[in-house]
A and B are shown apart, each in its own frame.
Chain A
Amino acid sequence: MRDTRGRFELPGPAVWALRLAVLVALIAGWQAASGTLLPVFYISSPAKVLEVLQRWLADGSIWKHVWATVLVLFSGYAIGAAIGIAAGLWLGLNPRTERLLQPFIAALFGLPKMALLPLLVIVFGIGFASKVVLVASVVVFLLLFATLSGVRDIDRDMVESLRLMGATEGELTRKVRMPAILPWVYTGLRTSIGYALTTTVVSEALQSNRGLGFLIEHAAVSFNAAGVFAAVVVLLVLSMAIMLPLGALEARMRPVRL
């Protein structure tokens, strides 16, 4: 099959078949190298990892950790995004306040949030709340900046023309500003989910007794390489389960902007 420039291009199913082949080759190489090129102690082996995964699924112990991670991730993400969008919209509509607060926001944004975790643990305890606040603190800035850029990009004439029709400030926000910033907010939501997941997992590894981050850390300190890899595989599946629908949603939303 050839593309529009006449270059040869593989059909879709063939691409997928090749991808599968790459995956199989990687796993086979791993299995072959394990115990021959590198000690099993360090790299484990696909067979051992599969064994661990089967055990976790059989006794159901994995779900407690998946659920803990998902709960922290989405709670923090939702709270951070809601606050970030609202703050971005508010600052965008009040440029004087925005100018006043700008250095503070920049300073807080630049701060590595992970450094706040010990403090948050003191305030909110070692459980759920401290990690949710941490994830939210990462997401909030990304959405704030995305929304702010969106508000700055709003066509002034579009707003004015509706204002002359008699639209109230609330109506202008609902009918012009919010739809206009939607693509920006969407980009913010998509980029920040990755940061949210990273923050969740690392904070679980640092201070927790459950979650996939805890599982990785716990396996590592027990020198259980198979457990580390198994937890990473679960994490991989989870992140794909979150990212793929987002990509599909974006593809559907794009024609609206043009």
Chain B
Amino acid sequence: MHMSGQTAFTGAAKTGPTLISLKDVVVDFATRDRVVRAVDGISLDMPEGGFTALVGPSGCGKSTVLNMVAGLLKPSAGSVTFEGRPVDGPNTRVGYMTQKDTLLPWRTVEDNVGIAFELRCRRSERGDKAARVAEMIERVGLKGFEKHFPSELSGGMRKRAALARMLIYKPSTLLLDEPFGALDAQLRLIMQKELLELVDASGMTVVLVTHDLEEAVSLADKVVVFTSRPGRIRAVRDIPIPRPRDPATLRFTDAFRDHCAALWDELRDEVAAAMATPHA
């Protein structure tokens, strides 16, 4: 891995101890008549407190990487470690927001958001839980929808409810799979800013999967570009833009544009390759 950022910037390019480590990871999926290689030899270290974005064309295995870190999927070869230990079974140290929202359809927004507090492992937590639920719902802009069922919300609202449900119990690591994909452009900027504030304040480690290059550059301090399937790492670029950042204004700066342009150079070929491959 190469350091392409300038060290003149401070407050970025965090170098905590390695929290998540993938080593020569290979993932094969068996389909009906053949074996498809989704991930082909990925090695990647993510430091504690770091914000890593994984970008690449669809079907390149980005989500597969998150599933492995969450412990929902075992690599076919290679190793995935978390805090130095191999991930073996569901990793309860992470908060995982999947691409598909997994809100419970028979619970209202507030009951969905507060569900973490109903679990035994968190029942003894102190403080006014109802107030925390209300505050989190307000933070994601769902005030007034507390009593609504998921089926009564738009796709973007469901995403925000899912985000609130995850953030409320303050997991030390967040795995986010296209968290803002369903939001309109303005709301997306607001939510990105909210996320950055929360992450910066709490020192959470974040792994973000997105196909939006600008989102990756404005949020992350390391962007990893994947090749089209089978997924390999094509490039890693540090984004040493200082924090706190405001995604809404950041995109008008030269540094931001330079990073995007450099990453787009890498990504362009892969997107073309992915489009040329059927079923990508």
Give chain A's interface residues, CB within 8 Å of chain B: 155, 157-158, 160-168, 171, 175-176, 179-180, 182, 256-258
CA distance A199 to B125 in the complex (A): 53
| A258 pairs with B118, CB closer than 8 A | no
- Using Cβ atoms and an 8 Å threshold, which residues of chain B touch A182? 106
* A164-B90 in contact given A157-B98, A171-B119, A175-B115 (Cβ < 8 Å): yes
Asked if B120 CB lies within 8 Å of chain A CBs, one says: yes
| B96 pairs with A166, CB closer than 8 A | no
Q: Binding site of B, secondary structure by majority: helix, strand, loop or mixed?
A: loop
- Using Cβ atoms and an 8 Å threshold, which residues of chain A touch B79? none
CA distance A161 to B162 in the complex (A): 10
In the complex, how many angstroms separate the beta carbon of B95 from the nearest chain A beta carbon?
Answer: 7
Q: Interface residue tally of chain B, by bracket? A: 20 to 34
| B102 pairs with A155, CB closer than 8 A | yes
- Using Cβ atoms and an 8 Å threshold, which residues of chain B touch A165? 92, 95, 115-116, 119, 169
Of all chain B residues, the one with the shortest Cβ separation from A183 is B106
Asked if B149 CB lies within 8 Å of chain A CBs, one says: yes
Asked if B70 CB lies within 8 Å of chain A CBs, one says: yes
| B120 pairs with A171, CB closer than 8 A | yes
In the complex, how many angstroms separate the beta carbon of A256 from the nearest chain B beta carbon?
Answer: 5
| B98 pairs with A166, CB closer than 8 A | no
Q: Binding site of A, secondary structure by majority: helix, strand, loop or mixed?
A: helix
| B119 pairs with A161, CB closer than 8 A | no
CA distance A256 to B107 in the complex (A): 8
CA distance A258 to B107 in the complex (A): 12
CA distance A254 to B118 in the complex (A): 25
| A258 pairs with B105, CB closer than 8 A | yes
* A161-B120 in contact given A166-B92, A175-B115, A258-B151 (Cβ < 8 Å): no
- Using Cβ atoms and an 8 Å threshold, which residues of chain B touch A166? 92, 116, 119, 121-122
Q: CB-defined interface of B84-103 with A at 8 Å, one 1/0 digit per residue? A: 00000011101110101010
CA distance A179 to B115 in the complex (A): 14
In the complex, how many angstroms separate the beta carbon of B178 from the nearest chain A beta carbon?
Answer: 14
In the complex, how many angstroms separate the beta carbon of A247 from the nearest chain B beta carbon?
Answer: 21
Asked if B187 CB lies within 8 Å of chain A CBs, one says: no
In the complex, how many angstroms separate the beta carbon of A160 from the nearest chain B beta carbon?
Answer: 6
- Using Cβ atoms and an 8 Å threshold, which residues of chain B touch A162? 115, 119
| A257 pairs with B119, CB closer than 8 A | no
| B105 pairs with A161, CB closer than 8 A | no
Asked if B104 CB lies within 8 Å of chain A CBs, one says: yes
In the complex, how many angstroms separate the beta carbon of B63 from the nearest chain A beta carbon?
Answer: 12
In the complex, how many angstroms separate the beta carbon of B9 from the nearest chain A beta carbon?
Answer: 34
- Using Cβ atoms and an 8 Å threshold, which residues of chain A touch B95? 164-165
- Using Cβ atoms and an 8 Å threshold, which residues of chain A touch B100? 157
| B115 pairs with A160, CB closer than 8 A | no
- Using Cβ atoms and an 8 Å threshold, which residues of chain B touch A161? 96, 98, 102
Of all chain B residues, the one with the shortest Cβ separation from A179 is B106
Of all chain A residues, the one with the shortest Cβ separation from B71 is A164
B45-94 at interface with A (beta carbon < 8 Å): 70-72, 90-92, 94
B105-138 at interface with A (beta carbon < 8 Å): 105-106, 115-116, 118-122
